[in-house]
């Protein structure tokens, strides 16, 4: 089987190589999947870096935190050969060998059936990024967000999570304001359904006042840091932020006043360890609420040979939309 393998050199730094390896080297698991597509996420960029981004525990290692494909063999009654399946999370591609290979062997508990109406290619155009975006939308809805309540802010809007979140929210009838530090992406965000483009410089400032004008009914935030702190003070009464990333830093120099005087909510979104029921709920909504024509416009096709450079590109903020890596 063909795979992208990270191997450590004498200097302790890892390098990616495309190799033919024996499938017997795959780690233990209940289900063997013939991988059809994988994708590229920020975590993949970290795993592909020379030091593994602090995520990879041992080498040699096959990265790729997402994959979709067809069951080839199964020791678990829930899956039989020929079933189409999707995997995201569970530290696959970090601790366990992942999807940058023609085959993957994993635990059955980590898989979900491919939702009806989606192809494996579309599922990987969604990937962890789109799955996270849908989890964020569901969390905001569960806390009372509706289109009638006002505009929703999406930070890092041209990235993987932001692109899918913008398209889903717009399709559901929300007014979407997309934040980006790349002015040249305005047309792209508008094509996904954003009705307002917010320059990152306008909102990426240290909090000057704990409360500002009530502007946003909700927010999906990929940045964290000072930007998130400021957004909390701009939420409407009872509004929520779904926090999905920390591109701007892990610290939160915020005041508790927005929580106490406006009843705002800060909702943490984890995609890695989500229970099976929530995974199915999110994937079912993706199949119905994400416009497939918009998803197609986000896709950047790639091969295994392209992945190492794309991994470096995503770490430097140079990847737009959703990379789909074909194994065929």
Does the reported pTM lie above 0.75? yes
Task: Report the domain count for the chain.
Answer: 2
- HSE of 9, CA atoms in CB hemisphere, 13 A: 8
Are residues 152 and 252 part of one domain? yes
pLDDT value of position 195: 97
pLDDT value of position 204: 83
Query: Which of 273, 274, 270 lies closest to 245, judged by CA?
Result: 270
**For the residues 268-282, what does the mean pLDDT come to?**
96
Are residues 234 and 161 part of one domain? yes
Distance CA 230, CA 252 (A): 10
Q: Is residue 102 part of a domain?
A: yes
pLDDT value of position 44: 96
User: pLDDT at residue 206 above 80?
Assistant: no
Are residues 135 and 55 part of one domain? no
Rounded to 5 degrees, what are φ and ψ at 45? -60, -40
pLDDT value of position 255: 93
Query: Which of 81, 80, 87 lies closest to 120, judged by CA?
Result: 87
Are residues 206 and 137 part of one domain? yes
Q: How sure is the predictor about 320, in pLDDT bands with cuts at 50, 70 and 90?
A: confident
User: pLDDT at residue 248 above 90?
Assistant: no
Q: Is residue 281 part of a domain?
A: no
Residue identified by tokens 């080839």 is 72
**For the residues 304-328, what does the mean pLDDT come to?**
93
pLDDT value of position 20: 97
Q: Which residue range(s) make up the domain with 21?
A: 2-114+296-326
What does the angle CA 291 – CA 296 – CA 297 come to, to the nearest 5 degrees? Answer: 100
Q: Is residue 280 part of a domain?
A: no
């Amino acid at each position: 089987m063909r795979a992208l393998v990270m191997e450590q050199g004498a200097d302790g730094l890892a390098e990616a190589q495309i190799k033919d390896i024996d499938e017997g080297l795959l780690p233990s698991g209940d289900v063997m999947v013939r991988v059809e597509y994988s994708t590229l996420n920020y975590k993949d960029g970290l795993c592909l870096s020379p030091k593994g981004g602090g995520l990879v525990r041992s080498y040699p290692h096959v990265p790729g935190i997402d994959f979709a494909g067809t069951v080839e063999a199964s020791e678990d009654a829930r899956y039989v050969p020929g079933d189409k399946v999707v995997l995201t999370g569970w530290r696959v591609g970090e601790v366990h060998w992942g999807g940058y290979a023609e085959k993957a062997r994993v635990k059955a508990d980590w898989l979900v059936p491919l939702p009806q109406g989606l192809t494996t290619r579309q599922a990987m155009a969604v990937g962890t990024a789109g799955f996270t975006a849908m989890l964020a939308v569901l969390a905001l809805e569960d806390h009372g967000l509706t289109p009638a309540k006002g505009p929703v802010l999406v930070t890092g809007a041209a990235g993987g999570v932001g692109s899918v979140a913008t398209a889903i929210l717009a399709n559901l009838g929300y007014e979407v304001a997309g934040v980006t530090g790349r002015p040249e992406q305005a047309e792209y965000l508008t094509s996904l359904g954003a009705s307002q483009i917010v320059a990152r410089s306008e909102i990426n400032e240290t909090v000057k006042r704990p409360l500002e004008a009530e502007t946003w009914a909700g927010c999906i935030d990929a940045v964290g840091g000072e930007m998130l702190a400021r957004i909390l003070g701009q939420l409407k009464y009872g509004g929520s932020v779904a926090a999905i990333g920390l591109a701007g830093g892990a610290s939160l120099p915020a005041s508790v006043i927005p929580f106490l005087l406006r009843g705002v909510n800060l909702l943490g979104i984890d995609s890695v360890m989500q229970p099976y029921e929530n995974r199915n709920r999110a994937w079912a909504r993706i199949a119905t609420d994400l416009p497939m024509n918009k998803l197609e416009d986000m896709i950047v096709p790639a091969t295994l040979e392209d992945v190492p450079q794309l991994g470096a590109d995503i770490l430097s903020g140079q990847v737009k939309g959703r990379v789909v890596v074909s194994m065929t």
